Amino acid sequence: MIKIQGKSVFGGVAIGPIGILRKKDKKVIRNHVEQVEEEIKRYEDASKEAESQLQKLYDKALNEVGEADADIFHVHQLMLSDMDYVESITNMIRMQNVNAEYAIAMTSDNFSTLFETMDDDYMRARVADVKDVSNRLIQILSGQGDDMLQGDVPVILAADDLAPSETVQLDKSKILAFVTRYGSANSHTAILARTMNIPAIISADFPEDCEEKIGIVDGASGCLYIEPEPELLREMEEKQQKEQKKQELLQTLKGKEDVTLGGKKINLYANVGNISDVMTALKNDAAGIGLFRSEFLYLEKDHYPTEEEQFQVYKTVAETMAGKKVIIRTLDIGADKRIDYFNIEPEENPAMGYRAIRICLDREDVFKTQLRALYRASAYGNISIMYPMIISVEEVKKIKEISAGIRRELSAAGISFGNVEEGIMIETPAAALISDLLAKEVDFFSIGTNDLSQYTLAIDRQNPKLDIFFDPHHPAILRLLQMVADNAHKAGIWVGICGELGADISLTETFIRMGMDELSVSPAMVLPVRQKIRETT
């Protein structure tokens, strides 16, 4: 038996085979080939396999997210059979006697360069399609397969780390727990684990030969056991059963009100990242959606999502929640959430750089597309919009000017929309300190404690070396929260918390005493927080 000590991110016990998510080296080397027709046959066979994979992905996406989002795989199938693309590859193999991988990589580069120079937006958007299709072919030819997990058996997922763009592609039904070598307790892997209600540990240096071996993740202690001894296995199975019974007891809280013993009502909402998370929120009896992370729409795609694509997702969420409040955060990328097709240059300090609302105000066409989709979808449910990373009143006034223009355009076109609340996230010390001024401009505040904590304490929440210095209960953070709550209520608007701190049960009573009107937590934490609210005087 091997015991590996890591750091706990989310509790619980998981038992099962270990699956390692390996990052493939996609570097392509030029090789000379003599049998060119055989090489072309290799390419043609790979193309058939790619077409089969894409059809399976299309069918799966069609069933899970609808035709609009599934259509990208149909576009990739068409690209595979495009004659210009095919002839470029086969001619290069024949004329230069090169291997298929190299011919595909060069064709991808050439087509991408050509498309990027075109004035047509549609053709420029095809750059990502060419690269995606080409990478798929190269993976098949090299025998690498996908970076994502293969097989149907649920596993303990072990990885160096997971980027947000990788987490959205995972088949979450196949994951029992997360184990990563790197990352921090506040990383997106950690947030995903809490959303999925599965054990997770970080800073666990697992061996490369542990794949397919039976493992145990004890999320509470931060331990990974590989090939556990029978006695430990029995002990952990009992611990797992106790945890399951505890979860069953929490289920009895479904349908109960989120009211303290003293009669104060708290709006208990859920944080979600996509449509499947919405179903999890409903399953856990959330009273609404306090944070819908719209950037996952962008992370899942290799092109700017169109107004129609976004509209369909927002409409589905609004209709699914059936009149319950749905607060959608506008695009929040930058920092650790990078998207290739945005072409954002690397920054030395991305957490304080070109991100979130700064990108939206700089690229108004992207911002307006999202706002149009959001306002159109608001006709189908109770949608509110909130804007991230605010630091000034001037930003809010500019946002209100743009959104008012969108409403005028929709009205002129005869397109209906709902009565949308507009709020801002308080996640910078600047916003907290001028919250009395900001409160006069908006309908609500939602405090993002993840960023507010890192900016207040000058601690990068993605740096695991700083975890020992990070104190989410720091008096400075709590004082800022109280200040924001007081200023919101003085102006007659409501205030809530949508950061990870909202699920900290040791602070629930403190938040209620502060006057917080809403707590938005990961779906798995709705019932535990409800229990704490109902026990609070």
Contact 452, 427 (CB under 8 A): yes
**Which residues are CB-neighbours of 281 under 8 A, at least 6 positions away?**
270, 272, 289, 523, 526
Contact 200, 219 (CB under 8 A): yes
- 188 catalytic residue (yes or no): yes
**Which residues are CB-neighbours of 417 under 8 A, at least 6 positions away?**
375, 376, 378, 379, 407, 410
**Count of residues for the chain?**
537
Q: How far from 431 is each of 106, 219, 225, 318, 447, CA to CA, in Å?
A: 49, 35, 45, 29, 10
- Three-state secondary structure call for residue 446: strand
- Three-state secondary structure call for residue 303: coil
Alpha helix positions (H), 183-306 = 188-196, 230-250, 275-283, 295-299
193: number of Cβ within 10 Å: 29
CA distance 532 to 515: 16
355 in a labelled binding site = no
Q: Quote the tokens at residue 438.
A: 């900001």
Contact 9, 240 (CB under 8 A): no
- 210 catalytic residue (yes or no): no
- Alpha-carbon dihedral sign for residues 178, 182, 186, 187: negative
284 in a labelled binding site = no
Helix/strand number for the chain, H first, E second: 20, 16
Q: Quote the tokens at residue 188.
A: 């997106």
- Assign residue 205 a region: left if phi > 0, alpha if psi is -120 to 50, beta otherwise? beta
267 in a labelled binding site = no
CA distance 42 to 130: 19
- Three-state secondary structure call for residue 271: strand
- Write out the E strands in 380-515: 382-387, 421-426, 444-447, 494-497
Of the candidates 188, 210, 303, 360, the residue annotated as catalytic is 188
Of the candidates 76, 210, 303, 498, the residue annotated as catalytic is 498
408 in a labelled binding site = no
99 in a labelled binding site = no
DSSP 276-291: HHHHHHHHTT-SSEEE
- Write out the E strands in 308-392: 325-329, 382-387
**Which residues are CB-neighbours of 242 under 8 A, at least 6 positions away?**
none
450 in a labelled binding site = yes
**DSSP run (H or E) holding 372:** helix 364-377
CA distance 208 to 151: 19
CA distance 450 to 465: 17
Residue the block writes with tokens 């010390």 = 429
Q: Which phi and psi angles does 286 have, rounded to 5°?
A: -65, 145
Annotated binding site for phosphoenolpyruvate: 293, 329, 450-451, 461
Annotated binding site: 293, 329, 427, 450-451, 461
List active site positions: 188, 498
Annotated binding site for Mg(2+): 427, 451
